[in-house]
Structure formats: C-alpha cells, structure tokens
Structure 1
C-alpha cells in the first residue's frame, strides 16, 4: 500500500485550481443564471460543500439567506461574491 503525503502547498494549489475552474464555469455563463434564488442543495453542489459547512456559513453570517417556510434560499449574487472573496483571499496567502 503506497502512502502519499499531502502538503499544505498541495492543498493551496488544489484550492487555487478549484477556484479557477469555478471562475471559468461562471465566465461561460451568459449573464445571471436562469433563476436568481438557489436552494440549499444547489448551493452545496455549486460550492462542493457539505450540509454542515453550509450551515456554518449561514450561522456566522458569511452567506446571507432567506427562509420561506422550512426552505432556505440563497441569492446567486451572494454565492458568487463569496466565491470571489475566497478566491481573492487565497491569492494573498
């Protein structure tokens, strides 16, 4: 069994590549998405995060949301801004 050691630099490179690919994905989109409001599962798929991580983003105020009944909705522009801020934060690290 081979053991691979992943360094902090490896993780940083992975993050940068991930955000570059997301950026390219959004640049291919024409204007805004077909719908402005995204459900939790759509945001999780878009960001590649778990339900717990999304909950943490809500709790600490990083990602604004609107609750209607029992459903949480997120503005696409807020999600896009979160991704941009994270991408910019990674560039300064």
Structure 2
C-alpha cells in the first residue's frame, strides 16, 4: 500500500483547475439558447409590443403554453416565425 502526501500547493492547483472548469461550464451554458421563453423575452427578441404579441397568439401565428399564470413560447416556433418573414 502506497502513501501519497498532498501539499498545500497540490490543493491550490486543484482549486484553480476546479474553478476554471466551473467557469467554462457557465460560459457554455450562457451561450446556449433557452428552449422556452417568457413573454417579456419574446417581446425583446422580436422587438414587438405586448399588443402585437397578443395578436400573434390570438390569430395562431405563435403558439404558447401556459404554466400557472405565465405564458411560455417555444424558441423553435419563434425561429420559424422569423424565417417566414
């Protein structure tokens, strides 16, 4: 059975590598597009008003799901809408 001695420097190096890996994970996630967007995010993305968003919902141009009191829109549906125009 062998014994390994861990020094402060080893722990510091491990900590640095671990923090770098965590930072990389967060950077990767922030570049991913969310699958479901709230109304405020859709209005900002499309640069439209609340009334226009409501019209898109009413006439069936943009589908949505309601969870509790919040409306969610599928990002893929928004992409399709943008590609049509």
Q: TM-score, normalised by structure 2?
A: 0.62
Aligned residue for 1:53?
Answer: 52
SS at match of 1:46: helix
- Which residues of structure 2 form unaligned runs of 5+? 1-30
1:51 is displaced (CA, Å) by 0.1
1:85 is displaced (CA, Å) by 0.5
Q: Which structure would you say has the larger RCO, counting Cα contacts within 8 Å and 6 or more residues apart?
A: 1
| 1:1-93 equivalence runs, <5 A | 33=33, 35-86=34-85
Q: TM-score, normalised by structure 1?
A: 0.57
1:11-42 Cα shifts (integer Å, max 9, x gaps): xxxxxxxxxxxxxxxxxxx7x61x20000000
- Number of equivalences: 55
Larger Rg: 2
Measured in 1, the distance between the counterparts of 2:82 and 2:60 equals 15
Cα RMSD for the two superposed structures:
1.2
